[in-house]
Structure 1
Amino acid sequence: MDAVEKANTERQKRWAKDKKVGEGTYAVVYKGREIATGRKVAIKKIKVGQFKDGLDMSAIREVKFLRELKHQNVIELLDVFSSKTNLNLVLEFLDTDLELVIKDRSLVFLPADIKSWMAMTFRGLEFCHRNFILHRDLKPNNLLIASDGQLKIADFGLARDFADPGYKMTCQVITRWYRPPELLFGCRYYSTAVDIWSVGCIFAELMLRTPYLPGESDMDQLKTIFRALGTPTEEDWPGHTKLPDYVPVGQFPRTPLRELFTAATPDCLNLLSKCLIYEPRRRIGAKEALNHPYFFAHPYPSHPSKLPKPAIKNTLPLEEVDGNVDLSGPGPAVKANPPNKLKRKHSSDDLNGRSIARKLDFTQHTGDR
């Protein structure tokens, strides 16, 4: 047994799987514990053998980025070990997610509660962006909530680095209801603004208690956005008509946010509007958002421990345990359509999965892009 295999065996012995809490095409999630301390954890077992060309790149990305990100508002990767042909991610165990909180009608939100969830989301996202990482799938069920009320960004399977601004990226990311218009128009060069749009949609959803922009297809998503925010002009968004997948969608007038968000303060509406600006370069950044007057005005954000929370259930530590992204978006009385699922792609250029499971030394950061 070589040194890498020996270290892997030692790591594997630290953890015990107690109960399966979810299964998808590509992964199984267990509630587990650290044997020495009894600490509860989540163990996400990725089925390496499912992939013809090796290990799914979403698993590689998830390991890579979570090894790099240590922040109270980002889910913590505690360990990684291989078992036969499976890769196991040991994650902190989190009780619930923001989608379940939003949908639980027995819970009453105060403006200070929404402010607290938004502050934690922006803090976690600012840390990701400061480290040149785009999340590319922010939505309420990827914002998990710990027993002490801390909100943590999770599911980095679609994340990627953006240190090279000229690097072409796929536009087929971010669950549709939270996807910005530049991606719907096929933009392949983008940056942190795509995550900020998603946060704006989550912000609106917290106030409405229902998804803000629930489109049924990509074209309907654009219409839904334009009905809510008005059809952009060249002045609003210079150059958008030259994007690869641009098509005229129709002319819709802009509806003032005040008409829908009647109870929101002026500062609240100002921050929301800055998250949902059409021109990506003019959209507010996460750091700037944290310094917005909204967070410094009364009422101040609730302490995380005081935030409303549903009764604890066996919540999955990651909502999407398979390798798919549900592009229809979560929402009341809406079921996911298989045609609306985007499979996380892996190519023949990916590393061989069986080789990774046996040999990859997780004491070092992986070096893939």
Structure 2
Amino acid sequence: MTVSPVVVHESQSPASSIRLQATRLTSLSLRPNTLQEAGGERPETGGGQDVAERLNRVTREKFVKDRKLGEGTYAIVYLGHVRAEPSVLVAIKKIKVNPEYHDGLSMDAIREVKYLQELSHPNIIALRAVFSSKNQNLNLVLEFLPLGDLEMLIRDTNGVQYGTAEVKAWMGMLARGVWFCHENFVLHRDIKPNNLLIAADGEVKLADFGLARSFSDPYRPMTCQVITRWYRPPELLMGAKFYSGAVDVWSMGMVFAELVLRSPFVPGATDFNQLELINEHVGTPSEESWPGVSKLAGFVSLEKSVSGIRDKNYFLSRFGTVGPIGVDLLMSTLVLDPRKRCTARQVLEHRWWTTDPHPTAKEDLPRKGGGPERMGEDLQRRGGEVEESRGDNVARRLNFGS
């Protein structure tokens, strides 16, 4: 059984105080004599902000920035190491001050710190520390994941060969990470292959929590302007404001399909085109298959669509390499009605995992070189963005103010 973290509501951690909070985030684990060990004096009672500044300095001096891995408009990512243990590598993500936002920080930066502090799991990227630098930039010290991301492996059809056992291993890691998020009332809201980074031992880690959100209050509306288009479920494309972990499960299904096809399953160029492709390849939503769908603000009735829902024979013709039981699992993640879609827990309880072939051991999974720079590319992006090389027509520009 997981232990739910203390939920800190967004209203309690506004951007105007995030830097002071950042100096305290990692200080909670410091022993009372940490400053003395570091050569400083023990702070006197009453020096609130001064104590925070000292603790921030102690945290900052624990790490050394080495070479730059990547830079974007949102962040700069460095390869670094622990000063006391030079062999222990880290990735330091420096989030740039942006004058467009109040106090220079966007909400996605605050979300990333908040949820990575709350979530600790082998299949979620670990946040080791947070500190602010002299120029007021926020620095996130993350575990170093040198083998790039899952998208690299999917796209390299000539250099990387894999089969059902490897797909099963990667999907199992993803499912465990998503299950842990949902058990702790957190929606990731941007699951896709290049947010699945790979550790040195082959473990897949869910990264980029810039669009994450707590969902413990079922009556609080949420924005539908989340999740990169190719992995976005139909309820969000049609403007749903109240939703659950089913949105992440749909994204998991799209990653599953992409691992098998080695290309995106429904790569829409626009939101409307995305709905058209879902209608063509998954099925047409109706009041019969999805009660209440016509009441969604963005519901559209498409003339060019399949009749009803695609059956198992269609999915077997596209994804037969994972076997009939694997196709059953895939179809359960791509149910149009989110209330009938399987949960992350049900994904993990599916019998596909116990059938042959068994998942490949993580140390035996395929890997590619050139990972550190790829990690820099992945971490420098803002939530919801994809690489420019994949085209502006598929890189959805999200409204983070929604």
Q: Compute the TM-score of the two structures, normalised by the length of structure 2.
A: 0.82
User: How far off is 1:262 after superposition?
Assistant: 3.0
Counterparts of 1:24 and 1:112 in 2: how far apart (Å)? 36
Over 3 Å counting, the alpha-carbon distance change for 1:100 and 1:50 in structure 2 is farther
Aligned partners of 2:74 and 2:95 also within 8 Å: yes
Superposed, which structure 2 residues align to 1:106-125 within 5 Å?
106-125=159-178
2:60 maps to 1:12:
yes
Identity %: 47
Given candidates 245, 249, 270, the residue that maps to 1:217 is 270
The SS at the match of 1:144 is strand
Q: Which has the higher contact order (CA 8 A, sep 6+)?
A: 1
Amino acid at match of 1:186: G
Gaps of 5+ in 1: 347-369
2:213 maps to 1:154:
no
Per the alignment, residue 351 of structure 1 pairs with: none
Aligned partners of 1:142 and 1:318 also within 8 Å: no
Aligned partners of 2:123 and 2:205 also within 8 Å: yes
Per the alignment, residue 273 of structure 1 pairs with: 331
Over 3 Å counting, the alpha-carbon distance change for 1:172 and 1:320 in structure 2 is farther
Counterparts of 1:318 and 1:135 in 2: how far apart (Å)? 20
Per the alignment, residue 35 of structure 1 pairs with: 83
Per the alignment, residue 359 of structure 1 pairs with: none
The SS at the match of 2:274 is helix
Per the alignment, residue 189 of structure 2 pairs with: 136
Q: More helix by proportion, 1 or 2?
A: 2
Q: Deviations over 1:167-210 (max 9, x none)?
A: 10000000000000000000000010000000000000000000
2:397 maps to 1:344:
no
Per the alignment, residue 118 of structure 2 pairs with: 68
Per the alignment, residue 355 of structure 1 pairs with: none
Superposed, which structure 2 residues align to 1:257-272 within 5 Å?
257-272=315-330
RMSD: 1.8
Per the alignment, residue 208 of structure 1 pairs with: 261
The SS at the match of 2:321 is coil
Q: Deviations over 1:12-34 (max 9, x none)?
A: 00111111111111211111111
Q: Compute the TM-score of the two structures, normalised by the length of structure 1.
A: 0.89
The SS at the match of 1:263 is helix
Counterparts of 2:114 and 2:316 in 1: how far apart (Å)? 42
The SS at the match of 2:67 is strand
Superposed, which structure 2 residues align to 1:309-328 within 5 Å?
309-313=367-371, 314-317=373-376, 319-323=378-382, 325-326=384-385
Per the alignment, residue 363 of structure 1 pairs with: none
Aligned length: 343
Counterparts of 1:322 and 1:257 in 2: how far apart (Å)? 34
Amino acid at match of 1:304: K
Per the alignment, residue 149 of structure 2 pairs with: 97
Counterparts of 1:161 and 1:340 in 2: how far apart (Å)? 23
Gaps of 5+ in 2: 1-48
User: How far off is 1:230 after superposition?
Assistant: 1.9
Over 3 Å counting, the alpha-carbon distance change for 1:339 and 1:277 in structure 2 is closer
Aligned partners of 1:186 and 1:245 also within 8 Å: yes
Counterparts of 1:317 and 1:285 in 2: how far apart (Å)? 32
Per the alignment, residue 308 of structure 1 pairs with: 366
More displaced 10-residue stretch of structure 1: 16-25 or 130-139: 16-25
